[in-house]
């Protein structure tokens, strides 16, 4: 496949949602069982629970970096907006 063809089919989140009628989403998936779900993007925020291995939460399209330089993902988890660290999670598309 040529590089031009690959570039031509890359879509950002908004374009992907438009093309698929909103049926394709990015999720954050727990990858080691230590993924605390927090009310804000950092360790100083209260934990709401744990995103377990194999569980996922819908990525809300926003990231934030804490004072240690660690990116956090804003997610929809158990019906509420929350944050998870990128250190213990990975992004996947469904």
Residue ranges and CATH numbers for the domains of the chain are 3-93 (2.30.30.40)
Residue 7, pLDDT score: 46
How far is CA 72 from its chain centroid?
8
Q: What is the pLDDT of residue 74?
A: 92
pLDDT of residue 6: 42
**Structure tokens belonging to residue 91:** 């992004």
CB neighbours of residue 6 within 10 Å: 9
Residue ranges of the chain with per-residue pLDDT less than 70: 1-25, 33, 93-94
Of the candidates 46, 78, 42, 34, the one whose C-alpha atom is nearest the C-alpha of residue 63 is 42
């Amino acid at each position: 496949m040529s590089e031009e063809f690959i570039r031509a089919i890359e879509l950002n989140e908004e374009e992907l949602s438009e093309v698929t009628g909103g049926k394709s989403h990015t999720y954050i998936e727990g990858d080691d069982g230590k993924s605390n779900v927090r009310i804000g993007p950092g360790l100083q925020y209260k934990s709401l629970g744990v995103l377990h291995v194999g569980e996922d939460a819908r990525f809300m399209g926003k990231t934030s970096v804490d004072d240690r330089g660690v990116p956090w993902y804003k997610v929809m988890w158990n019906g509420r907006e929350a944050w998870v660290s990128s250190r213990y999670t990975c992004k996947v598309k469904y």
